[in-house]
Amino acid sequence: MKIIGFALCLEDNDEGSFVPNKLYPILEPLDNDPKIYLRIIDESGEDYLYPAIYFEIVNLRQPAQNKLIGYFQTSLAENTL
């Protein structure tokens, strides 16, 4: 799946899936994903749907976004998130 952006976690979901104030990659949604959810790679390194209200989407300049996408793709391939 393709990373399309990043979101700042505003609060933990009480399951320990997130660290507040940390950036998480957003993956492009699947056709059947509800619009009020984001497909986020959480602390487990897996992607799941989470309510968008847990996050603030962060707009980064393109060079910074490309660098972060490269980092996360490498980390995912090595399974080191």
- CATH number at 59 reads 2.30.30.40
Provide the pLDDT for residue 64: 94
Prediction pTM value: 0.84
Tally of domains in the chain:
1
CA distance 3 to 81: 14
Question: pLDDT tens across 66-80, in order?
Answer: 999 999 888 877 776
Containing structural domain, residue 37: 3-78
Q: If we measure between CA atoms, which residue out of 69, 14, 64 comes closest to residue 41?
A: 69
Provide the pLDDT for residue 57: 96
CA distance 80 to 54: 24
Strand partners, 23: 8
Burial class (CB in 10 A: 0-12, 13-18, 19+), 6: buried
Q: Token pair of 65, please?
A: 């976004």
Instruction: Please state, rounded to an integer, the average pLDDT across all residues of the chain.
Output: 89
CA distance 63 to 81: 21
